[in-house]
Structure formats: structure tokens, C-alpha cells
Structure 1
């Protein structure tokens, strides 16, 4: 069992804004990470949430302001309205699952490369060429974009079921081996403190 189960969506702006801080926190504490991409829209429907487009206008406006503030605070390039969002998150998620099984590359780097492609580089992360590029730059065989599609689909669906069962309702969402739950990139400092034994 991993020290941190990381539930996320490759379309999530807040997963993008997490950058590589999860990996830095894990490395600091010698913790392992299990990457679990999931269908965030399906998760919303299962846990009482709703996609951004279906939320009240006040929530939509606040979301845009908050994303702008967070990206500025973190010094991260960010497009509030990406050209290719929303798009089909399944292909990029399957690639992450295949890369996780294959090993040999930087899995956290791959996740961030895909998220960055969507939120900062105006690329369609459902595009095979974009996924291959992200795989290659993260040290993986770009051919993983075409392999293990059945296993990828099964794991992707299983991740959603596990997320619902374990109390996940958004992304990014981090669960430790002692079932402490942390929702949002702005809770990574709390995760850090918990792993250090400083949180009650």
C-alpha cells in the first residue's frame, strides 16, 4: 500500500496548480505515491457536486478569481480559458496508468506535463501526439499511448469506484495510509505536517 493515494483528474486546474509539490513532500518524508487518475465529472455526479459549467454563476466567478490568484501566487503560467477544455480525459489517464505499470520514467513529471499541456500550453490532451510528447519528455516509451487501453479503461473505472468508496469528492485529493484526507493543492502544507507527525 502506498503512503499517499493521489486521486486526480488530468483536466483539473487545481491538480495543475499543485505542480510537483506532492512529489517534493513525498520525497522529503520518504513516502510512496499511488497515482490514481479518475473521471472527475462522473465523481461529481456520484458525490453531490456538479461540473463548473452547471454551477451557480457566483461559484463560477469565484472559481475564476481563485484560479487567477493561485496561479499568480505560485508563479505558474495559467490560461483561465484553455482552448481545449474540457476535452476527453480518458486517453491521457490511460497513458498515466500504462506508464505506472511500465515504470522507468518520472510518473509525477508525466502527470504535470499533461496538466501543463492543458492549462498553460494550449494543447489538447486527448490528442495522441500530445500524449506521446508528454510520455517521451518524462522518460517513458511514447508507444505507451497506444498500449494497454483495455487495462487502462478498467483501472480508470476502478479508480472512480475506489474514490467514491473512500470519500473522495474533488481533485486533487490525497489520502494517507492512516486515512487522513486532504482536498486541494492548498492543503499540501497540511499533508506535509501530517507526514512529519506535527498534525493531530
Structure 2
């Protein structure tokens, strides 16, 4: 059975735009997804990247056009300047890791609920009530928002180290076998690769 290692950042607009397409591709091919939330801003400084606010104006201008364009193409609600961005993405990542360890719900739906909260619903994912609502929506115990914080922090840090070691420089970033795929617009390539056509 194929395994997809999925490195994502809770604050990434591109992870939001991925929607649930990765989960659909994985189900189609009987693949499993190993979700790995990590600190993308910390990864930027270690892999040659630049946080959005520090990028050259030409790159910021392109991003301001490309993100809404991709959202329209995908038929997704999107706010380029959400009310609560940037915010602290770690609490939502810790809750995700707690849910991952507890089981009983849908991790793909949980990740998407977190992303959607930022980029479409104008919610602050650093807030406990928002995290609880995401957990509940995805079929998890909302009380997981308050549990496993130490393990969550340790796993989140370990995921960052693994990401840097494996060559992750952005999010979403996917590994299948020895193949790397960067960006929500590469999910179709993952589908082709799993089908043996790429």
C-alpha cells in the first residue's frame, strides 16, 4: 500500500486551496496519508525561503493575484487578507496532533476545517473555541484541544526537523516513495504517479 507523507502548515493558503483532493486521490489508490503539521515560517529561514511579509513587492503582487485566481478556478471562497492572519498556528497544530493520536475522526476534514477557518471563515485558529469547533466538525472530541500539548509541541518540532532534513521548503509538500511534490497544483501529478503513469 502506498503512503503519502503530507507536510502542511495550519496557516498556509495553499494548503487551504488543496481542499480534500489529496484525500480523494489517496482513497482512489488505496494509499494512506501520514499528516505532518510543521512550522513553515521556521522552515523558510532554514531552507532559503522568505516569509510573505518580507518578500520583494513583485512577489507579493503576484501572490495577491494568484491566490484569488486559484480559488476562483477551484470554486472556493477565499479572503486574501483574512482578519486573523498571521496568527499563532501552533495551537491548532497541537490539537491536530492530539486528534491524530486519539483517532476516531477524519484527519483530512480536520485539516481542511482549520485552513478554511483562516482563509474563508474569518476565524482565529489560535482561539480555543475555533479549534474545538474544527475538532467537532471532523468527528473528534473537542476536548482534545486541551490535551496532549507537550506531545503536540514535541511532535510539531520533530516534524519541522524532519521537513528540513527531507528537503521540504514550502507547504503543502508531499512525498510518495522517493518522489517529492510541492504545491496544491501538484495533486493531479500524485494521482498520475500512483496510477503508474508518471
TM over 0.5: yes
Aligned partner of 2:162 in structure 1 is 162
CA distance in structure 1 between the aligned counterparts of 2:21 and 2:68, rounded to whole angstroms: 19
Tell me the CA shift for residue 40 of structure 1.
0.6
**Can you give the 5+ residue segments of structure 1 that lack an aligned partner in the other structure?**
none
CA distance in structure 1 between the aligned counterparts of 2:23 and 2:119, rounded to whole angstroms: 20
Aligned partner of 1:137 in structure 2 is 137
Partner secondary structure for residue 70 of structure 1? helix
Aligned partner of 1:93 in structure 2 is 93
Aligned partner of 2:26 in structure 1 is 26
Partner secondary structure for residue 71 of structure 2? helix
Aligned partner of 1:117 in structure 2 is 117
For the 8 Å contact 1:171–1:184, the answer to whether it is kept is yes
CA distance in structure 2 between the aligned counterparts of 1:121 and 1:99, rounded to whole angstroms: 22
Aligned partner of 1:188 in structure 2 is 187
CA distance in structure 2 between the aligned counterparts of 1:194 and 1:165, rounded to whole angstroms: 23
Tell me the CA shift for residue 179 of structure 1.
1.5
Aligned partner of 1:37 in structure 2 is 37
- Number of residues of Structure 1 aligned to a counterpart in Structure 2: 198
For the 8 Å contact 2:2–2:30, the answer to whether it is kept is no
CA distance in structure 2 between the aligned counterparts of 1:64 and 1:186, rounded to whole angstroms: 17
Aligned partner of 1:52 in structure 2 is 52
Partner secondary structure for residue 80 of structure 2? coil
For the 8 Å contact 1:2–1:34, the answer to whether it is kept is no
Partner secondary structure for residue 110 of structure 2? helix
Tell me the CA shift for residue 2 of structure 1.
6.7
CA distance in structure 2 between the aligned counterparts of 1:131 and 1:95, rounded to whole angstroms: 7
TM-score w.r.t. length of structure 2 = 0.99
Report Cα offsets for 1:26-55 as digits up to 9, x if no partner.
Answer: 000000001100001000001000100000
